[in-house]
Structure 1
C-alpha cells in the first residue's frame, strides 16, 4: 500500500479529498438555484450512459496514451459527479459540463488530485479537459455557482 508523508494511503487521501471538495451530490442542488443563475446555467441529472461516456473520453483521450496496456474496463468512475449545461443562443448551441473524480483500478496514483473536467458541445462527443488539481477555473462560473463549488481565481 502506498503511503504519503502524513501516513494516509493514496486511497484514503482520495476519499478525504472527495469528501472535502464535494460535500453533496450534484442531484442535491435544487433546480430553483438554476433559475436564480440567470437561466443560463442548468443543473442536470447524471445518468449511467453519461457517466460511461465520461469514462470513455478519459480513457481514449488521455489515459490510454500513457498506459496503452491498460484496458478500458479498469477505469473507475467518474464518481461524485456534478453535471450541467450552459444554455446556448439557440437550438443545438448548449454546452454540457461535468466535474468529478476518476481513477484506474490497480494504479493508486491515478486517484490523486482532481477533480477532472469534461465538456461536450451540443450533440457532439465528450471532451476530456483534464485534471484541475483542485482549481475549477476551466468550468463556467455560472455552473460553479449553482453547484455551490469554489473557483480558484
Structure 2
C-alpha cells in the first residue's frame, strides 16, 4: 500500500493483478476488486446459511388473528386458501397435533373429538389436492365443488 499525494491510502501498482496473474489465480486464489487474495482451505468448505427462523415466522397467516377462522365455518375456505400455498403447512399441522388443538384450522385441517378419540379432517380436496373442500352449514365434503360436480357427472 502506498500513500498518494492527497494523503489517502491507495493500492500500489505491484498489488494490482495482471491478466496473467488473474488466469493463474483461478484455482487457488480469489480475485476481489482486482486484487489477488489467497483462499484458505477452510474457507472453501464454508457454507453460507440463512439465519434460522421459526416456521411460524414463514407462515402465510403470520400476523393475522387466528380467531377469525377458528370458529366460523364461513371463514374456513379463506383460511384453507392460505394454507394451500403456505410453505410451512406440514410443520403447522404437526404442531397442531402435538399441542392438542381442537376446532382450529391449522395445516388445512379441522380438529375435533369424537367417541373414538381425537380426529382431524383434511380441508383440502382428496381428488385434486389443490382446492378447499366444499363447506356447508352441517357437513364438510372430502372434495372441492369442482371435483364433486365432476364425480356426480361420471356416475
Higher strand share: 1
Same fold (TM over 0.5): no
Query: Relative contact order (C-alpha < 8 Å, sep 6+): which is higher?
Result: 1
User: If the length of structure 2 is used for normalisation, what is the TM-score?
Assistant: 0.23
